[in-house]
Amino acid sequence: MDITGTFVGTMSHMSPEMLSNKRYTYKTDIFSLGVVLWELWYGRHVYSEPEYETLPIYVLLDAIKIGQKPRCTFQYAMPKTLQKVLEQCWDLDPDNRPEASHVAVVVNTL
C-alpha cells in the first residue's frame, strides 16, 4: 500500500522518497530503522560529524535524497553483517530494502 500526504518525523531519519515528496510505503520505515540502529551502535545522532554540523539543513536533506549515507567505519566499527544490512536499509530503491524480520535476525546474531 502506498502512502503519501504525511510529513511527520525527524527529517534526518526520513527516507529519500519521503523527503522528495514521492509516494512511499512501509519501506520508508526500514530506512529510518537503519538510521536508528546506526545511532544505537555509535551512541550519537546520525550526521553529527563536524562537516555536517555546519551545513544548512536543506543541504543535508538534499544529500540524503541523492544517497549520502552515514559512515559505518568510525572507532568501534560495526560488524560487517550489521554494516551490510544498514546499507541495504538505506538503499535509494525502497524495493531493495530488507524486511524488518531480516534486520531482526541480523541484530539478534550480534
Taking only the tens place, the pLDDT of each residue in 29-67 is 999 999 999 999 988 888 887 777 787 888 888 888 988
* Domain extent at residue 102: 11-108
Q: Domain count for the chain, please give it.
A: 1
Looking at residue 74, which CATH number applies to its domain?
A: 1.10.510.10
**pLDDT digits 0-9 by tens, 64-102:** 898 888 877 766 788 999 999 999 999 999 999 999 999
Report which of 12, 35, 9, 6 is spatially closest to residue 97, judged by C-alpha positions.
Answer: 35
With respect to residue 3, please indicate whether it lies within any of the assigned structural domains.
Answer: no
The per-residue pLDDT for 8 is 61
The per-residue pLDDT for 6 is 61
The residue-averaged pLDDT of 15-21 equals: 89
78 Rama sector, left if φ>0, alpha if ψ -120 to 50, beta otherwise: beta
Q: Tell me the pLDDT band of 4, cut-offs 50, 70 and 90.
A: low
Q: What is the pTM of this model?
A: 0.84
Report which of 90, 87, 85 is spatially closest to residue 101, judged by C-alpha positions.
Answer: 85
